[in-house]
Structure formats: C-alpha cells, structure tokens
Structure 1
Amino acid sequence: MVQVGKHHYFVAVKLPAEVKAFLQNWVKDHQEEFPFGRWVHPEDFHITLAFLGFAEEEMKQKLVRSLPGILGQEPTFTLKLNKIGTFGAVKKPRIFWADTEHSDDLNRIQQKVYRQCIDIGFELDKKPFRPHITLARKWNGDQDFNPEKLTEIGGQLAFTVNEVVLYETHLDQTPKYVEYAVFPLR
C-alpha cells in the first residue's frame, strides 16, 4: 500500500504525442473486443526502463544528477510500434500491452539506466527487460481471453526517442504520472 505523500518513481522512455494519439485511437476502435477492467490514460503511455518504487530523496537526487551524463551521450533513435500482447494467465491476463520492434538502442539505454540505478542503491526487478506500453489492466470479460486476437497493432508507426523521463506516480490523479526530471538524448 502506498503511504500518503510517498510517491513511487520510474524511469521511462517518453512517447511523442502522435504515438499516444495513435494508441488512443487504436484503443477506442478496439476497446469493446478487449474488455479489460482499467484502461490507461493516453497521457500515461510510456516504456518503463526501471521501476524504482519509493525513492529516498538522496538516492533520487543522485539519479537526477547522474543520468544527464549517461543519457546525454546517447544518440536519439527510432522505434516502431509492432503488436499487441498480454502478461499473466492466458485466459485472464492482467496486463494488455503494445510493444515495439526489437531495438538494440532501446536495450542499451535500458541497461545503462538499470546499471546506474543499481549502482546508486535502488533494488530493481531482476526479470529480463520486456519493453512494452501498458494499454490496460485486469481482464474483465465474461468469456476467457482469446489469444488468437493478438495481432500487429497496424501501421508500423515509427517514432524518434529523444528523451527519457523520471516519472512520479500520483495515484489520486488522472493522468497519474508526472514528469519529475527530463533527460534529453544527444
């Protein structure tokens, strides 16, 4: 349970407005065939690189001071939206997502951010990095989820990644993610 006044933080790739709009339109067109319980606000779409959870102020400030030197050396790069998928039980998935095509650039950025967070002392999830954009949570259909409906998201929309953001979570707001610090790429 999150204590009042204690926010969670995560480092993520910020998506451009046109990608958020594309995904928002896709969701509007397909929401009825995918009855999930909670749909993510389009302004909250992102690709998480490292989930920090609650962050002590000193550690958070060390991260804010160190990431410009790490990310400022990294060139901008292009990602392409790819397909939709789920995490969790096949019949009742807990996460509905869109992903991007494989990107060595994205993986390199994530590894650098992850290593820096670990070096500062954050305890991070050790699961392999699975880049995705969460669209919805908690299957709420009367029938079991049909994985055959998982397809390409269409359009193969390409976009440039030019900044990474440290977000602060505000569970009592919509949208609930607020930019705490922004780190431009080269």
Structure 2
Amino acid sequence: MRLFVAIDLPDSVKQQLEEIVTELSTCRADVRWVHSDSMHLTLKFLGNVAPQELVEIDRVLSRIVATTQPTQGRLRNVGSFPHLHRPRVLWIGVETDNGMLSSLQTDLDAALAKIRFSREDRRFRPHITLGRIRGNRRLSALREAVEKQSGHKAGSFKIEHLTLFESRQRRGSTRYTALTTHSFEVR
C-alpha cells in the first residue's frame, strides 16, 4: 500500500481551486491538471507500507491530534516548483496563524521517524498541487497566467483533521482513498 498523511479539504475549497485551475488551463499549456476531488495538502509521504504497519501509524496519528488545535487555513499565492522560469509543479500556498502547519508537519515527521519512516530532508512548504507540467508547449502563456494569479487570496477554511490516504494507480490515473481520519482534539 502506498500511503501518505494529508489535510483533506472542504468541498467549498475544492470548488475555489477548480475555478483557479479552469482559469489557468485557458493558456493551453501542456499540464496534467489535478482534479479537485483529488486535491489535498500533503504533510508526509510514507511510501510503500505493509498492512500490519497501519495500527502503529494510526497510534502515531492519534497521539499527534491529541495535542493539536484546529486552526484556520488560507489559500494564498499561486506559484511553481522549482521556480516560474522552469516550472514542473503548479501549486497554491496555504497559510495558517503561527506557522501551525509547519509545526504539525515537523511533529508528524519526528513521530513517524521513530517507527521507521525517513525524515523529510526538504523544507516543508504548505501547498496544494494544482498541476504538473508535462512539456514546454505554451510555457510563456502559463507563466503569464500564474503571474496573474500569484497574488490570489481566497477565503479561509477550518483545518481540523489529519487523514491517512492510500494512493493507487489505475489505468493511467491516480486514485486516493481515505483510510482513517483523526480529528484534532485540543479545543
């Protein structure tokens, strides 16, 4: 099983993101756009996991949410990795008060490292992937579209759960299935 831990998004946020993707896609660049139903904010990719490891992962997630308070997330700024001059991934950033998502990701990374999962070596940048660039066709039009959206500020949404997802490849597409959801307990 290929697993990852993420913040699932409310339908209202997925709708806003679908509108942004629709606007960006008018540039007709060679991008594989993420369908809004598949959008999420990844905190930790676990990779291939044996079914018997699920219980221990669940325990870790339960411990993390027991000390985590719900917060407001805000969609901010469309951008790209590694940078706009040579984009490979298009994303929209997510902000929280006091860097809560970065703290949560650090705690999660440390707790999962204790049960065998490698620590993340890249700096965590809270974001939601909007699309992946497949080729160089119409990149200048794509850059212009991203720059138009770069100051984007959408409404806020409540972040109150961690979800353990399974990722499956099927007929050229990826499907995500929520296996468990853990609600933040500190109120």
TM-score by length of 1: 0.86
Q: Which runs of 5+ in 2 are unaligned?
A: none
Query: Is the Cα–Cα contact under 8 Å of residues 43 and 175 in structure 1 kept in the other structure?
Result: no
Cα–Cα, structure 1 residues 127 and 64, in superposed 2: closer, same or farther, change >3 Å? Answer: same
Matching residue within 100, 105, 125 for 1:105: 100
* Matched residue, 1:12: 6
Contact kept in structure 2, 1:92 and 1:139, CA below 8 Å: no
CA drift at 1:57: 2.7
Percent identity at matched positions?
Answer: 26
Q: What SS class does the counterpart of residue 32 from structure 2 fall into?
A: strand
> Aligned in 2, Cα 1:97/1:36: closer, same or farther, shift over 3 Å?
farther
Which one is further off, 46-55 or 36-45? 36-45
Q: Contact between 1:8 and 1:53, CA under 8 Å: does it hold in 2?
A: yes
> Aligned runs of 1:140-159 on 2, under 5 Å?
140-145=135-140, 147=143, 149-150=146-147, 151-152=149-150, 154-159=152-157
> What is the alpha-carbon distance in structure 1 between the residues aligned to residue 58 and residue 36 of structure 2?
25
Query: Structure 1 158/101 Cα, relative in aligned 2: closer, same or farther at 3 Å?
Result: same
Asked if 1:129 is matched to 2:129, the reply is: no
Q: Work out whether residues 31 and 135 of structure 2, in 8 Å CA contact, stay in contact via their aligned partners in 1.
A: yes
Structure 2 CA distance, aligned partners of 1:102 and 1:139?
Answer: 31
Amino acid of the structure 1 residue aligned with 2:154: Q
Match of 1:77 in 2: 71
**1:89–1:101 distance in 2 versus 1, CA, 3 Å:** closer
State the secondary structure of the residue aligned to 1:127. coil
Q: Any idea what the Cα deviations from partners look like across 1:16-54, whole Å, max 9, x if unmatched?
A: 111011101121122122624211111111111111110
Give the secondary structure class of the aligned counterpart of 1:93: coil
Runs of 4+, deviation exceeding 6 Å: none
**Partner residue of 1:30?**
24
- Give the counterpart letter for 2:162 in structure 1: V
2:113 to 106, 109, 118: 118
Per the normalisation by structure 2, the TM-score is 0.85
Of residues 28-37 and 118-127 in structure 1, the stretch that sits farther from structure 2 once superposed is 28-37
Say if 1:36 and 1:117 are closer, same or farther in 2 by CA, change over 3 A: farther
CA RMSD of aligned residues (A): 2.2
Structure 1 unaligned blocks of 5 or more: 1-6
Number of equivalent positions: 180
Quick one: distance in 2 between partners of 1:144 and 1:136?
13
Please say which of residues 122-131 and 171-180 is displaced more in the overlay.
171-180
- Are the equivalent residues in 2 in contact too, given 1:95–1:138 (CA < 8 A)? yes
